Amino acid sequence: MADEHIDDMMNRVGREPVQPVDGAFANRLETDLRTQSQQGVAPLRQPAWWLRPSTVVAFGLLIVLVGLAVGILRSDPATIEITTAQGSSISVPGSDEIVEGQAGMELEDGTRIEVGSGGSITVGGVVLDEGSTAVVEAGSLDVIGPSSLSTTTTTQEPAPDDTAETTRPTPKTGTVVEQTTAPPTTTDDSLPTTVAPETTVPRTTIPRTTVPKTTLPPEIKPTTTQPASLLTAAPETTVPETRPQTTVPARIKIDAELVDLGDRVGTLTWRVGETDAAIAGWIIQVRRGDGIANLATMRQPEARLLRVEITNENLEFRVVARGEDGVLGESAWIAPSS
């Protein structure tokens, strides 16, 4: 039986078709086996995304950029000072070191510095001469030190004090004396005596009897005396009415002129009409199209000249006079003229 079962299985296997071999699968299997045999070990797994070198480098750059931004915001304004006619010195924010200014130098706030011939330096569109001192902060230029920006010296007299000294009269002080009225006092020392008539009774003698007469004092009405403080009126005090006199300064007339000197440099000059107002400084504004920006702020009331950089022929400039309480006047917009 066993031999017949084996013969039957052999005959059945010989009759069943055999599936052809997958050539592509065999090639892949052979390639993988050869690769593993050459490496000797299985390939390592890829690390997590936060441990990859590219991710670590990106985080490092982000931290550096944030630190630079915080340093720029907390840094002191750059002080630019021209020392000699041959060079310019610049005080870098956050450091006491004074470095030599170079053409194309850029501050931390993005303000570019250009050094020209003869010791001139251009900062933010303003050309500073020898001896000029300026502060640059967030792109705004503030001319504060002694400089040669003024061509004429005008002594500004302080505005007259229109508020007259007011003396308030001292009210008169009255003396109040209380008046007290004492009630009248009645004194009666004499008391009349009435004697009864004599009566004769037989065998009876009535002795003489004296009955004293009692006199009541007159009725005393109570007198109420009011305090003098209620009866005496308070002295009248007249306080003169004092109104503060506010003087509104008249508008200052300013005539400005801008002359193009070539090489993108122009001279802005202005004249001021007669005025009694106290000028605290100047604001130089620039306009291009509808955009207006403050080019420079000058704290020198006597200044009448400023050299500016003309980077575009469509630029217009204006001079604004400022006082302690606001703007006193401004000039018209002017374009450069050769």
The DSSP-derived string for 231-272 is HSPPPP-PPPP----PPPPPPPPEEEEEEEEETTEEEEEEEE
What is the Rg, in whole angstroms, of the alpha carbon atoms belonging to the chain? 57
| Distance in angstroms (rounded) separating the CA atoms of residues 166 and 94 | 53
Lowest mean pLDDT among 92-106, 135-149, 174-188: 174-188
271 backbone dihedrals φ, ψ, rounded to 5°: -125, 150
User: Which residues are CB-contacts of 327 (< 8 A; sequence separation ≥ 6)?
Assistant: 320, 321
Whether residue 298 has pLDDT greater than 80: yes
Q: E strands along 1-100, which residues? A: 78-81, 89-91, 98-100
Task: Characterize 157-182 residue by residue with b for buried, 16 or more Cβ atoms within 10 angstroms of its Cβ, and e for exposed.
Answer: eeeeeeeeeeeeeeeeeeeeeeeeee
Whether residue 294 has pLDDT greater than 80: yes
Whether residue 232 has pLDDT greater than 60: no
Handedness of CA 19, 25, 31, 33 (dihedral sign): negative
Average pLDDT over the chain reads: 66
| Distance in angstroms (rounded) separating the CA atoms of residues 317 and 293 | 10
Whether residue 271 has pLDDT greater than 80: yes
Mean pLDDT for 140-157 is 45
The pLDDT value recorded for residue 162 is 45
Segment 11-43, tens digit of pLDDT: 776 666 666 666 777 788 888 888 876 665 555
The pLDDT value recorded for residue 159 is 44
Count of alpha carbons within 13 Å of 325, Cβ hemisphere only?
Answer: 8
| Distance in angstroms (rounded) separating the CA atoms of residues 318 and 254 | 10
Going by their DSSP bridges, the two strands 78-81 and 89-91 should be labelled as antiparallel
CA distances from 322 to 126, 297, 330 (A): 19, 10, 9
- Output the CA torsion 82→146→107→90 (10° steps): 30
Mean pLDDT for 191-208 is 52
* Token pair for 187: 């004194």
Instruction: Determine the residue type at 178.
Output: E
Segment 163-192, tens digit of pLDDT: 444 444 444 334 333 444 444 444 444 444
106 backbone dihedrals φ, ψ, rounded to 5°: -125, 130
Report yes or no: 279 and 252 within 8 Å, Cβ to Cβ. Answer: yes
Of residues 79 and 67, the one with the higher pLDDT is 67
Report yes or no: 307 and 126 within 8 Å, Cβ to Cβ. Answer: yes
Mean pLDDT for 142-165 is 43
* Token pair for 123: 């900062």
Confidence of residue 151 (pLDDT cuts 50, 70, 90): very low
Q: Which domains occur in the chain, in start order?
A: 254-330 (2.60.40.10)
Q: Which of 182, 177, 265 is nearest to 222 (CA)?
A: 182
Confidence of residue 220 (pLDDT cuts 50, 70, 90): low
* Token pair for 233: 């009126």
* Token pair for 40: 């000797």
Q: Which of 184, 183, 80, 189 is nearest to 137 (CA)?
A: 80
pTM above 0.75, yes or no: no
| Distance in angstroms (rounded) separating the CA atoms of residues 34 and 306 | 82
Whether residue 88 has pLDDT greater than 60: no
Lowest mean pLDDT among 84-88, 118-122, 312-316: 84-88
